[in-house]
Chain A
Amino acid sequence: MAVAVRVVPPPLKPQSKSAVAREPLWPGCFSFILTRRFIQGGSVRRILPPAWPIILLLLFFIVQPATAKQRRGKRSGAPTHPAVAASQQCSDCHSEESADWQASKHGQALVKCLICHGAVESNFIPKPAAERCVACHGENVRHLNDRAPSKGKSCFDCHSPHLLNPHPHTGGVL
């Protein structure tokens, strides 16, 4: 077994939790539509009065996922989690997430972090896709797109990560 080198971990929690959220959305959205040359044959001023709130909203929903995906793409090429010593536990750095996990059904059943998040370094999975859920929840994944309300959604759109409480609108009751 390759001996893992103990490193001083960088502030992983903010990075892993909210790298996407902290990046300003302006470059990908508003500054983009406000570029005057983008729409030729007319000025922005001429379009804006009747339709601008709708267009702004539409563009936000169109472009935001694309740029979010771009940012994830950038990260996926490089190691996404530093190597950690065998003696280190995930909870050493990710105490909040670990506490949520521990209170969840996954925590009780000892479905540990690595099942969703893979291993460390390049095998780390920051945002697990539904394929990581198939082993135990194959039926749910298979029928995810059968009908609303799950149609087109990922598992974690409804099940909050780590705590996994389903359906927040019901207060976590199934």
Chain B
Amino acid sequence: MTYTRRKFLQTSAATAALVLSAESGVQLLAEQVGGAAEWTKSVCRFCGTGCGVYVGVTNGKVVAVSGDKDNHNAGLLCMKGALLPQIMNAPDRLQHPLVRKNGKLERATWDEAMTLVAAKFGEAIEKFGPDSVSFYGSGQGLTEETYVANKLFKAGIRTNNVEGNPRLCMASAVAGYLQAFGKDEPMGCYEDFDHADVFFIIGSNTAEAHPVLWDRVLRRKRSNPAVKIIVADPRRTLTARAADLHLSFVPGTDLAIVNAMAHVMVEEGMADEKFIAEHVAFGEGTEVNKSWADYKEWLKQHTPEKAAQIANCRAEDIVQAARWVGAPGKAAMSLWTMGLNQRTRGVWVNNLVINLHLITGKIGVPGSTPLSLTGQPNACGGVRDGGALAHTLPYGRLIGNEKHRAEMEKLWGVPPGTIQAKPGLFTMDMFKAVESGKLKAMYVMCSNPCQSLPNVGRYRKAIENGSTFLVVSEAFHPTRTSEMASVVLPAALWAEKEGVYGCTERRYQFLQKSVEPLGEAKPDLEILCDFGRRLGHGALVNFRSADDVWEEILTLCKGTGYDFSGMKRERLRKSHGLLWPLPTENHPGTKRRYVRGDDPHVPADHPSRIHFYGRPDGRAVVWMRPFQPPEEVVNSEYPFYFTTSRVIEHWHTATMTGNMKEMKRTLEATADLHPEDAKTQGFTDGQSIRVISRRGSQTFRLRVTDDSPRGLVNVHMHDPGRMCNLMTIDAVDPVSKQPEYKICAVRLEKA
């Protein structure tokens, strides 16, 4: 082979072209991203932020996700969302039904499994009545799925034993809104982030639990450095580290702090007298029978100095926080989540945060609103709005209200008196009924209670030793719940089915099906309809598709405060999220509730700009709630407070994120302790310690860090191998029935 000069130059040019194209893998990818792969519109599977995503599919498999730039998240996703494709074909995806035989879960056919499930439920209902069975759902199920389960159990089987994990997540926020406004769900929206001058973040590690919303907070701060971020949290979280003011305090004393903030606002003349006179009522206990003067008098005792003493924080910090939040003319937004909700006085502390907005009039204007952040993608849309709890019926109706029951019976086409008048068992009572043997069969859908319940050791023991027939519909196996099941049904996951999710800001969004279910897995809607037919309630669940269910749902919301009957399926499919109320097909949706010109429930000619129509007097209620300590406080035997928290890498019980190869390294939950506490206990960083509460104990690797204040042990909540909930307390808020996950007392030992 010979080379001439000309030949050499020709070859060089060809080589150059080849090398450049190989180096430009980016170019090929860009083509693939833009055209070759198929993209479908969906919503992230994780938290309640509800980020819009496009799902990239190649050869019938989910291979990529890309944030929806036209949705509220502006194309951004958090770390968990970015790695979503990995959950779809994870090694522990369950691909066929399992039935327990001779103590072991063995492969079964769908027919075998469903025949057994129907027989066991039928037998229990026949022998012990409908209240001997229950449904425990999830804020991760699609709205249509949760709706069908709710209808089947309440109108078909005729039991109100319908609960779901949102009881453990946001029940206190619901009660807080209901008590203040007479209507559930926030009045504000995500757009308020872009207008807020002050963010008051309490009981939320937003940076790790709601990263995309946190990024919006930071964007606001970057656009205007004068914006203040206040974080009230015992721990120095990543959120707290970015704050202008971090207010750390003894766990459970935040009621005293928030009352003291109100005290400062009133004392320093920050109250909006006109707004109060026109729009606010005052209450104590359960009665709305107090006045502004009564409230001011009551507040006098709640001085910052007294609160600082109770909370072991600086009174000046409380004053500073109050001055920033209350500053006239500045828009203030409060954000909170489990730190307030998962408490025996969760409803009260929700009341107190809302009070700050009502006395300063900082509500219903851009940038000013209380906004509870939700933990799950469809806790709001499916369970909360859909009324799939033991005391509720769809779209604001209550079991205890005869008119509401009659209305639902008519809409569901069942005889009057079908729906039982007595609320069913609340979540913790439901599992106590397993313990007592009263509950004979339970259907768990898309949740992992045998890891996520507080004082979980007690209830695991009850299931293990009891005779309750436990059906678990789940996409993954084993989970800490499916391992205990009598029957495990393989559920289709996220992009394998279609339906609606409703997130924190009343935003409803459509999830398009992208791929076929893995193996023999089926969408929960299909499983539930099959279950209903086998129980003889075929007429009630005669749905051919999720579209059919949605059509029916639209008839139920009409005329209620939620009215989203303008959200026809096609509109939802095309949209990038719609905010209710949205009563007609041409209505744009409602950014801020109770605001004239925005909320369709406020008449256009209403004399006031704001009208709290949820209550008969049109006023929102400021409640007087004194400080009350948590159920369990520290003593000499259990000298440390114990709390649980998230890390950004994992979500809930890590059934999904534990499958992501990038996240596996961070799966191990650690016990975080302050350096001084470690010193006094004689512990060193990295050693194994045993955390012991009155209910249970667990060994963790110690992480010595000043993230934890003195006197507090923090454990991450996601690890299925080291369950924080063996220690947590199952005491509940008397109103919301939400347990106090966030606070209990423990002692520590070397393991």
Contacts and interface: CB of A to CB of B under 8 A. Distances in A.
Given A109-B214, A130-B29, A123 B23 contact: no
Contacts of B664: 1-2, 119
Given A135-B65, A136-B76, A87 B662 contact: no
Given A65-B19, A110-B211, A42 B5 contact: yes
Interface string A37-67: 0111110000100000000001101100110
A83 B723 CA distance: 25
Contacts of B38: none
B661 A87 contact: no
B229 to A, nearest CB: 12
A144 interface: yes
B47 interface: no
Contact of B75 (A130, A137, A145): A137
A129 B64 contact: no
A112 B648 contact: yes
**Chain B CB within 10 Å, residue with most, of A42, A66, A138, A143:** A138
A58 B12 contact: yes
A159 interface: no
Contacts of B721: 1
Nearest to B703: A87
B604 interface: no
A61 B29 CA distance: 23
B77 A114 contact: no
B668 A61 contact: no
A138 B33 contact: yes
B77 to A, nearest CB: 5
Nearest to B7: A39
A142 B665 contact: no
Contact of A118 (B19, B34, B662, B666): B662
Contacts of A66: 15, 19
Nearest to A40: B2
A7 interface: no
B377 interface: no
A108 interface: yes
Contacts of A1: 658, 664, 667-668, 721
Contacts of A134: 29, 33, 56, 64-66
Nearest to A131: B29
A120 interface: yes
A103 interface: no
A110 B238 contact: yes
Interface in A106-127: 108-112, 114-115, 118-120, 123
Contact of B23 (A41, A69, A84): A69
A154 B211 CA distance: 27
Contacts of A130: 25-26, 29-30
Contacts of A86: 665-666, 668, 701
Nearest to A132: B82
A41 B2 contact: yes
B67 interface: yes
A115 B82 contact: yes
A69 B214 CA distance: 39
B24 interface: yes
A110 B79 contact: yes
**Chain B CB within 10 Å, residue with most, of A111, A143, A153:** A111
Contacts of A118: 661-662
Contacts of B218: 108-109
A57 to B, nearest CB: 12
B5 A135 contact: no
A139 interface: yes
A152 B82 contact: no
Interface in A70-114: 84, 86-87, 108-112, 114
A153 B77 contact: no
Contacts of B207: 110
B90 interface: no
B686 A123 contact: no
Contacts of B33: 131, 134, 138, 141-142
A136 B77 contact: yes
B422 interface: no
**Chain B CB within 10 Å, residue with most, of A109, A129, A134, A135:** A135
A44 B16 CA distance: 22
B293 interface: no
A5 interface: no
B79 A41 contact: no
Contacts of B701: 86-87
A21 interface: no
Contacts of B662: 114-115, 118-119, 123
Contacts of A65: 19-20, 23
A142 B19 CA distance: 22
Nearest to A51: B5
A4 interface: yes
B115 interface: no
Given A1-B667, A135-B81, A59 B23 contact: no
B248 to A, nearest CB: 21
A144 B238 contact: no
**Chain A CB within 10 Å, residue with most, of B27, B238, B648, B703:** B27
A129 B29 contact: yes
Given A41-B2, A86-B665, 6 more contacts: A65-B20, A66-B19, A108-B218, A109-B214, A115-B662, A138-B75
25 contacts: A1-B658, A1-B664, A38-B3, A40-B2, A47-B5, A58-B16, A61-B16, A62-B12, A65-B19, A66-B15, A108-B242, A109-B215, A111-B82, A112-B79, A129-B26, A130-B26, A130-B30, A134-B65, A135-B77, A136-B75, A138-B67, A139-B69, A141-B29, A141-B33, A145-B24
Interface of A: 1-2, 4, 38-42, 47, 58-59, 61-62, 65-66, 69, 84, 86-87, 108-112, 114-115, 118-120, 123, 129-131, 134-139, 141-145, 152-155
Which 8 pairs, one residue from A and one from B, show the smallest C-beta to C-beta distance?
A: A138-B66, A135-B82, A114-B662, A109-B215, A130-B26, A142-B34, A62-B16, A119-B662
